[in-house]
Amino acid sequence: MAPIGLRAFGREDLPLLAAWLAHEHVARWWPMRETTVAALDAYYGPAIDGTDPTVLYLALADEVPVGFVETYRHADHPDWDRAVGIPGVAGIDYLIGEAERCGRGLGTAVIGALCTRVFELFPDVSGIVSAPQAANRASCRVLEKNGFRLVAVRELDSDDPGDAGPSAVYLRERRSR
């Protein structure tokens, strides 16, 4: 497996993200209302600028961009915190951009690197939560391979189209130091 890295996501990465979001294997699970670079800049710009507390990364394999990941403290997003109902945690969202890179362990490695980064970035959180759609078995397996356990399958109160339908709520607790 190629070395996995995470680097800060910037505006220069928006065209690549727009292309990835158009791929069927991504769009099925990460449906954005608009995927133009301008729309993505409006949506992600505050996080890029640091005025939104969400932290964005480009996932790299051997220095080549392979995915997009984001993390945030649930407490910084009270509506989502209430919807998920697990206090004191951080959340993660992730995608692998190219379909031919899926199913080869890359997602597992990216999530492993992301979890390490999240616990470093947010020393106050007790765990990490991810809530993919329950039908997205590949995403669920990647979480399970990284020590996440399923805590619920239920509808979440969210206006994000990516949260439509039953979500599988997974938790990875911080290991003792």
What per-residue confidence (pLDDT) applies to 102?
81
- In this prediction, residue 1 has a pLDDT band, given cuts at 50, 70 and 90, of low
pLDDT for 85 equals 94
- Which stretch of DSSP H or E encloses residue 129? strand 127-130
**pLDDT reading at 176 higher than 90:** no
Instruction: For residue 159, give both structure tokens.
Output: 């206006």
Q: Please state, rounded to an integer, the average pLDDT across all residues of the chain.
A: 93
Secondary element (H or E) of residue 151: strand 149-154
Q: What percent of the chain has pLDDT above 70?
A: 98
* CATH dotted code for 4-124: 3.40.630.30
* Sequence ranges of the domains in the chain: 4-124
Whether residue 177 is predicted with pLDDT greater than 60 in this model: the reply is: no
Alpha carbons 53 and 72: distance in angstroms, whole number: 7
- Which tens digits make up the pLDDT trace of 73-83? 999 999 999 99
By three-state DSSP, how is residue 48 classified?
helix
Please report, to the nearest 10 degrees, the dihedral formed by the alpha carbons of residues 3, 9, 13, 17 taken in order.
80
Paired tokens of 153:
């399958």
102/100 Cα distance (integer angstroms): 6
Residue range 109-167, pLDDT digits in tens: 999 999 999 999 999 999 999 999 999 999 999 999 999 999 999 988 877 777 778 99
pLDDT tens-digit map of 81-106: 999 999 999 999 999 988 778 888 88
pLDDT at 146: 97
